[in-house]
Amino acid sequence: MKPTAVVALGGNALLRRGDAPSFENQLANIKIAAKAIAEIAREYRVAIVHGNGPQVGLLALQNLAYDKVAPYPLDVLGAESEGMIGYMLAQELQNLMPETQVASLLTRIEVDADDPSMLDPTKFVGPVYNEDEAGILAEANNWVMKRDGEFLRRVVPSPKPMNILDKTSIDTLLDAGQMVICCGGGGIPVCRSDFGYQGVEGVIDKDLSATLLAKQLNADKLLILTDADAVYLDWGTDQQRALRSATPAELSEYEFPAGSMGPKVEAAAEFAQFGGRAYIGALEQGLDVLAEKAGTCVAV
- Chain-centroid distance, C-alpha 34: 16
Instruction: Report d(CA 58, CA 131) in Å as an integer.
Output: 19
User: Cβ neighbours of residue 150 under 8 Å, at least 6 residues apart?
Assistant: none
User: Which amino acid, residue 22?
Assistant: S
Paired sense of beta strands 241-243 and 4-9, if any: unpaired
For the four alpha carbons of 253, 204, 153 and 285, in that order, the dihedral sign comes to positive
Q: Mind telling me the catalytic residues? A: 11-12, 123, 206, 264
Radius of gyration of the chain (CA): 18
Sequence length of the chain is 300
The Cα–Cα gap between 90 and 179 comes to: 9
Sheet holding 296-298: strands in order across? Answer: 102-104, 179-181, 45-50, 4-9, 221-226, 277-282, 296-298, 245-246
